[in-house]
A and B are shown apart, each in its own frame.
Chain A
């Protein structure tokens, strides 16, 4: 369920690092909690994200949930698909429905995040 090569936050985001770029998304657990996702609000390319700070938000019909950036760096790409098909976030949260790509400015931050097994323990206890 939760890929081993991802790093996870307590706020239910994940990041997968490809060289110096981090691909960021929300976890399957997060999309289930939110229910049917109707809108995804993403930052503009060029925005400088800071670890733990708001990056955007995800909306269901009756709730809004902030997305907190798992890493710091510049947003280099956003997933345009989500604007026209927010439901993809329910269908494929760990794959095609990634949110943004960030060029890492502090790669060591990854060490503060959870592994897949730690995250699974964390959501089991929550």
Chain B
């Protein structure tokens, strides 16, 4: 190869690099390791984390069982090692699957259009807010304090320099639902979008229709967020919302210390040109056969550059594939049964604990510590190999000595009983 190139050595291919831009020493990274050593290394790191614990943490990341078939499919090299399907003729596998994914997200959310996925639920929130700003020509965003606290932080980071003021509104201390009066008082003719989450961060089901009514009266859009996608299997879809954004981690994506996950944005037909991210559309090939391709790309950065709807480029295709496989396996009947199991388990545990809020909940709820601190409860639980709930005071200073607990189909009755016993001690 060097002879064809006409170079004396590979080093000579770098001779044109200026001397002061070259690294004149080896990298301080140990020499390469064998496959066996690498497997051993990561196994050892894994053992330093919690293995074999029952887990009652939710708060945006859920322990759901992952059917074996999901990994079988995503491990196929044709999916795993392919690229963004710009060359439609040799990417029909990915394109067809994304079309199916978009359809299922629409079916679940009651929307007309869903994109091919976002980085995650948290970054989908500011993207949805920016979308509302484009669609309404207004600038202000109102966000409920019952939206995941870290999602709100992400929204603030994105919003700061975009001339998009973000204001929060509170919740009802009795029910844990958003405070509709405060929302009504704060929404005005500058409000582009109102963001709520349902089930909210406390697990409480919000009245999407009521919030939408208030937003729409002032010409603002309602953006509904979800973090627990399994709830969509049983709950009425948020049809009154204008934009639905959420996190699909529950659909076969391992918790994996917080990522990679997959977010989505779905919306009504009339906002299709405002949606960020990739979209797959149906068309025909030169022989008249059904085919799929990326479409409406002119919204995107690689064409519109500084005028794009977003700078987003990468999506979470492989993760969205996992979710697609998962949803096909569970299907119409299974997703409902799965959601029902989650609901039943959470209500079983909740029935044994003092609850902070009276609102209706799906698979998460807030328990109020009685006597002992919730941190002490969690410490005792660890000895029984149980990871308890998330203490909320750090995120909500007013919610002293409370914890957010979550049950899924993987939660066992004996662990729930043990948790309740320790809690009551």
On A, residues with C-beta under 8 Å from B are 38-39, 59-64
Q: Is B304 an interface residue (CB 8 A)?
A: yes
| Interface SS majority for chain B | helix
Chain A residues with Cβ below 8 Å from B298 are 38-39, 59-64
Chain A residues with Cβ below 8 Å from B307 are 64
Total B residues in contact with A, Cβ cutoff 8 Å: 6
**Residue interface bits B259-298, CB-to-A below 8 A is 1, else 0:** 0000000000000010000000000000000000000011
What are 16 contact pairs spanning A and B, CB under 8 A?
A38-B298, A39-B273, A39-B298, A59-B298, A60-B298, A61-B297, A61-B298, A62-B297, A62-B298, A62-B303, A63-B298, A63-B303, A64-B298, A64-B303, A64-B304, A64-B307
Task: For B304, give the chain A residue with the smallest CB separation.
Answer: A64
Task: For A58, give the chain B residue with the smallest CB separation.
Answer: B298
**Residue interface bits B60-87, CB-to-A below 8 A is 1, else 0:** 0000000000000000000000000000
Chain B residues with Cβ below 8 Å from A39 are 273, 298
Q: Which of B292-324 contact A (CB under 8 A)?
A: 297-298, 303-304, 307
Chain B residues with Cβ below 8 Å from A63 are 298, 303
Extra 14 A-B pairs, beta carbons < 8 Å, given A60-B298, A62-B298: A38-B298, A39-B273, A39-B298, A59-B298, A61-B297, A61-B298, A62-B297, A62-B303, A63-B298, A63-B303, A64-B298, A64-B303, A64-B304, A64-B307
* Residue among B273, B298, B304 having the largest count of chain A Cβ atoms under 10 Å: B298
Task: For A64, give the chain B residue with the smallest CB separation.
Answer: B298
Task: For B295, give the chain A residue with the smallest CB separation.
Answer: A61
Task: For B302, give the chain A residue with the smallest CB separation.
Answer: A62
Name the distance in Å between B311's Cβ and chain A's nearest Cβ: 16
- CB-based closest 4 A-B pairs: A59-B298, A64-B298, A64-B304, A62-B303
Name the distance in Å between A74's Cβ and chain B's nearest Cβ: 18
Chain A residues with Cβ below 8 Å from B273 are 39
In the complex, what distance in Å separates the CA atom of A59 from the CA atom of B309?
A: 15
* Residue among A38, A59, A62, A63 having the largest count of chain B Cβ atoms under 10 Å: A59
Name the distance in Å between A66's Cβ and chain B's nearest Cβ: 9
In the complex, what distance in Å separates the CA atom of A61 from the CA atom of B307?
A: 16
Task: For B305, give the chain A residue with the smallest CB separation.
Answer: A64
Chain A residues with Cβ below 8 Å from B303 are 62-64
In the complex, what distance in Å separates the CA atom of A38 from the CA atom of B298?
A: 10
Task: For A41, give the chain B residue with the smallest CB separation.
Answer: B273
Chain B residues with Cβ below 8 Å from A62 are 297-298, 303
Name the distance in Å between A56's Cβ and chain B's nearest Cβ: 13
In the complex, what distance in Å separates the CA atom of A61 from the CA atom of B304?
A: 12
Name the distance in Å between A93's Cβ and chain B's nearest Cβ: 19
In the complex, what distance in Å separates the CA atom of A84 from the CA atom of B307?
A: 24
In the complex, what distance in Å separates the CA atom of A63 from the CA atom of B298?
A: 6
In the complex, what distance in Å separates the CA atom of A40 from the CA atom of B17?
A: 47
